[in-house]
Amino acid sequence: MSDLSSLTSSAYQQALEVIASVEPRIAEATRQELADQRSSLKLIASENYASPAVLLTMGTWFSDKYAEGTVGHRFYAACQNVDTVEALAAEHARELFGAPYAYVQPHSGIDANLVAFWSILAHRVETPALEKLGAKNVNELSEADWESLRAELGNQRLLGMSLDTGGHLTHGFRPNISGKMFHQQQYGTDPETGLLDYDALAAKAREFRPLVLVAGYSAYPRRVNFAKMREIADEVGATLMVDMAHFAGLVAGKVFTGDEDPIPHAHVVTTTTHKSLRGPRGGMVLSQEEFAADIDRGCPMVLGGPLSHVMAAKAVALAEARKPEFRTYAQAIADNAQTLAEGFLKRGARLVTGGTDNHLVLVDVSTFGLTGRQAESALLEAGVVTNRNSIPADPNGAWYTSGIRLGTPALTTRGFGATEFDKVAELIVDVLSNTQAGTTKAGGPSKASFVLGDGVAERTRAASAEMLDKHPLYPGLELS
């Protein structure tokens, strides 16, 4: 065992002993979570494994600080060390992505999107309105003027990708806050190919004329031409906002470059810092300089006190991503996704868009006679962790779905390569082929219950264990 592995084991062992002295059930759940993650094939596209350095950074006394405001301009005293942490995280983000400005305070992806939305509204709507009315801020407005501004802010148009074709809840889905705060419409994909149709999107933008055009995805297994998206936005006078939460690691690792890199083309870019970026759970906003002052008002506009301990962990993760080996990792994510897709196709599975060229694969499980929920549950019983996901024109809706979404970032972190990912496809097809839809209590077809064939779970777990043992999670970390 290396000295670093020994130190890591010691740190976690002692930390769990301290936790157990107060609430032993939490310590036990923590131990069990590591055991569960070590023994399962984690294929959820939005999950990964952060390094011990990132994880340990979150467990410090930075958690005890309130630090509303920005670097050098806080509403609380004694924030000089938080200033250091936030400045370093922002510096790493700017250098890693080549972005003029970075805001690292958002607690999550949805917070990052809310900061972006309201910053765009402030920049495009509120500031011009205040100047016209001769006011410096909203506190100087009369009640009538404020009501008029509120109506104008809440009546702006947003055009985003629909949820069933690969978009995200925060891209204008009606039950989400983004769908309530904007007058919204959504664009989709070509019904035959499942691919983005830029001409159709441009035509919709010309007709709807949105203030904000949102690009990016959570379940679209292809790359996006952000240069074309910017052309469409410019033609209709829209602000282009890109949500790269899922593929930020591929941008950071220079797998996506040129027209496929959103940073040079978008006005504002949002992301999470986990997923393919392999950092702590959190969010971040990158932008061109013209939006920097508005985004800096994320607190108090949208956010409260930043999570200083998480910002510190973001700085560590972003520093890791600036190392040359991260580019090798990012390329492996994309290569492994290709192998996974090919493994499914040669075994007769149907994939949305017929393949992938990013980090995820979307399998249509209706060809196996299953709903996404049944497939997800059967695979989980066999030790394969996925998530059910809608497919275009999904007849089963967003709860039961007709698809499962698979991603390669986590197992790539463990060291899986082409041989293992082909085997993963084989195991998944075997499970799905040997699963039958169940029946309801009334005897009708069920969208949730399932029957998994005898011995399937056992042989899948055995085959998985053989691969997992060769690629241990957090090698050298022992909690016994």
Asked if 262 contacts 116 with a C-beta cutoff of 8 angstroms, the reply is no
Cα(260)–Cα(216) distance, integer angstroms: 11
Instruction: For residues 230 and 220, give the distance between their C-alpha atoms in angstroms, rounded to a whole number.
Output: 19
Give the pairing of strands 384-385 and 435-439: unpaired
* DSSP conformation class of 143: H
Q: Where are the alpha helices (H) located in 154-247, listed in sequence order?
A: 177-181, 198-208, 226-236
Q: How many CB atoms neighbour CB 354 within 10 A?
A: 13
Measured between alpha carbons, how far is 426 from 452 in angstroms, rounded to an integer?
Answer: 16
Element (H, E) at 298: helix 298-301
Q: Which residues are catalytic?
A: 66, 68, 243, 272, 275, 281
Which spans in 322-439 are helix H?
324-345, 372-381, 397-400, 409-413, 418-433
Name the pairing type of β-strands 283-287 and 101-103.
Answer: antiparallel
Please name which of 415, 303, 329 lies closest in space to residue 69, comparing C-alpha atoms: 303
- Please, what is the Cα angle at 461 between 458 and 462, to 5 degrees? 85
